[in-house]
């Protein structure tokens, strides 16, 4: 995963549900990203199930789906004119990273 993909992934990681975000990648380059994040899980609760009464109450994510439906890159020169963008972005790497991070938390 390259630096630009990681920057986009971190921005998506903060989203929940449908999203439409603009992410600054540096050097007058921006990514317009649309998609969705869906999670499911449960709240840890040892008291309810006769456990040892020391449950953290933490959210345990058991399912995560991250889908990028659209990703557009835009680069601009010093005069504000759009120029060709030469960054190579792999949407599947971004989706996989976000999914893995959501399932760790």
What is the pLDDT averaged over residues 8-31?
A: 94
Please state the pTM of the whole predicted model: 0.83
pLDDT of residue 104: 87
Residue range 64-85: average pLDDT?
A: 95
Cβ atoms of 65 and 38 within 8 Å: the answer is yes
CB 73 within 8 A of CB 83: no
């Amino acid at each position: 995963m390259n630096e630009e993909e990681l920057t986009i992934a971190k921005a998506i990681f903060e989203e929940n549900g449908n999203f439409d975000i603009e992410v600054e990648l540096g050097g007058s380059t921006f990514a317009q990203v649309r998609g969705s994040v869906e999670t499911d899980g449960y709240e840890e609760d040892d008291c309810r199930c006769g456990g040892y009464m020391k449950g953290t109450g933490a959210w345990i994510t058991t399912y995560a789906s991250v889908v990028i439906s659209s990703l557009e890159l835009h680069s601009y020169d010093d005069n504000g004119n759009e120029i060709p963008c030469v960054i190579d972005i792999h949407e599947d790497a971004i989706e996989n990273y976000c999914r893995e991070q959501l399932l760790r938390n």
